[in-house]
Amino acid sequence: MADLPRISLQPDSTMDYRDFYDTDGAGGPRAPGPVVRGPCKPPRPKLSSRRSVRLRGAGRSPNFDHRFGARKADLSTPSTAAAGHHRRPRRLLIGPVMRPPTPSSHEARHETEVAPGLPHSAEESPSSRARAYYELTKPGIALFAMMTAGVAYYVASGGSADIVRVSHTLLGTALATAGALALNQYLERDLDALMERTRRRPLPSGRLRPRDALLFGLLLVVGGVVHLWATVGVLPAVLTFGSAAAYNLVYTPLKSRSHTATFAGAVPGAMPALIGWSAASDGIQLGAVALFGIAFLWQIPHVLSLAWLLREDYARAGFVLSPPADSEGKMIGRLMIVYSSALIAVSLTPTALGLTGPIYLLGAFLLGVAFFWRCVGAWRGMSRQAVRAVFLGSLAYQPILLGLMIVDTVRP
């Protein structure tokens, strides 16, 4: 029986730590040597972040290569130089495997809910979820549509509107408009996430699921159209459905292809004038066309000024709402002047048709001139301040003009 190597239990500072490996430091197997002398237990190595660690040399001696666990004198032997490489020592498993701590079930659920791109509405209160649905309808734009439809109904009825019938008209118009706007956000959810102005909307922010927004929008559109059909008439319902379809099937896809989307989007934007008028008169007369023309012309400077102010943001999403070759905005300025001047003339036609009186005539003229002058000021330099003045002026123009119509409607 072969003799086993004798191990001394006396501590000795001359211990050769290469004896813990199966190499001789020069790449070959360790030959059996004399008695190994050293402490009864090797120094405890430091645990690394991996599952296995390497034994390292004691201390930081300049004659010890800590990368390979051997003395530099042994690594510089001719056999090592000829080999051109150093065999790394075998890894030894030290103690139990240490795994990183796993998050608790509550922490994992929380990380899943708030991860980017995933809805986390489950942790929101019902009021927060209701607010997200409310934002999905763009209530400001829906309010403008209701105002236009209500005033058109009032003018068409000669100032003697049936409160029940006009209420049904406003409710159906509001529902269908809100649904069309919700469907628009559903279709543009990926593009909205690219723009600073829209990335906090309910869908890009993950507060609502796209499927929920789609069902919500369809429910509102269908509900509004059916309500108008049942309570007001067929023509207002058909016009409402056509407006929602044109907004999402024509205007929305055209925004990424041509700046003519601005003019295409003005058509469904002016449809509430026809909806309200037809609900009161069961038809479309010349007065309805005049109100439609006012709403259409007003939208062009409004949308163009907004497109110029947000041109960098729109460019991130690939929207083309202004002429692409108009880097200085001169063409936009000229278009705003042309359409604001035409708005002055068309806004006077209700009085020419006998629908409104002199108070409206004077007020519409002064209001149109003031708006036209702001467009001229923007065209001169296309500064941000001047264009913003046009945008804010357009927001004030529409409700003031509609208010003048209500005040001075000619009653039979």
Report pLDDT digits (tens) over 4-45.
555 444 444 444 444 444 444 444 554 555 444 445 555 555
- Full residue range of the structural domain in which residue 314 is found: 133-407
User: Are 146 and 61 part of one and the same domain?
Assistant: no
State pLDDT tens for residues 259-314: 889 999 999 999 999 999 999 998 899 999 999 999 999 999 999 999 999 988 88
Question: What is the mean predicted confidence (pLDDT) over 192-200?
Answer: 90
User: Are 150 and 72 part of one and the same domain?
Assistant: no
CA–CA distance, 189 with 206 (Å, rounded to integer): 10
User: Are 160 and 22 part of one and the same domain?
Assistant: no
* Domain assignment present for 301: yes
State pLDDT tens for residues 313-341: 888 888 888 777 777 888 999 999 999 99
State pLDDT tens for residues 264-274: 999 999 999 99
pTM above 0.85, yes or no: no
* Domain assignment present for 102: no
Question: What is the mean predicted confidence (pLDDT) over 156-166?
Answer: 90
Question: What is the mean predicted confidence (pLDDT) over 128-134?
Answer: 92
Position 110 confidence tier, pLDDT thresholds 50, 70, 90: very low
**151 and 406 in contact (C-beta within 8 Å)?**
yes
- Residue 43: what pLDDT? 53
Q: How far is CA 255 from CA 48, 189, 328, in A?
A: 57, 14, 20
* Domain assignment present for 105: no
CATH of residue 340's domain is 1.10.600.10
User: Are 83 and 165 part of one and the same domain?
Assistant: no
User: Are 5 and 137 part of one and the same domain?
Assistant: no
Helices (H) and strands (E) in the chain, counts: 17, 2
User: Are 237 and 359 part of one and the same domain?
Assistant: yes
User: Are 255 and 365 part of one and the same domain?
Assistant: yes
User: Are 309 and 400 part of one and the same domain?
Assistant: yes
SS3 29: strand
User: Are 246 and 336 part of one and the same domain?
Assistant: yes
User: Are 159 and 302 part of one and the same domain?
Assistant: yes
User: Are 231 and 159 part of one and the same domain?
Assistant: yes
Q: What percent of the chain has pLDDT over 70?
A: 70
Q: What is the chain's Cα-based Rg?
A: 39
The region, left, alpha or beta by phi > 0 then psi within -120 to 50, assigned to residue 179 is: alpha
For residue 124, is pLDDT > 60?
Answer: yes
What is the DSSP annotation of 94-135? -SSPP-PPPPPHHHHHHHHHHSTTS--GGGS-HHHHHHHHHH
* Domain assignment present for 101: no
* Domain assignment present for 92: no
Structurally, the chain folds into a number of domains equal to 2
User: Are 256 and 390 part of one and the same domain?
Assistant: yes
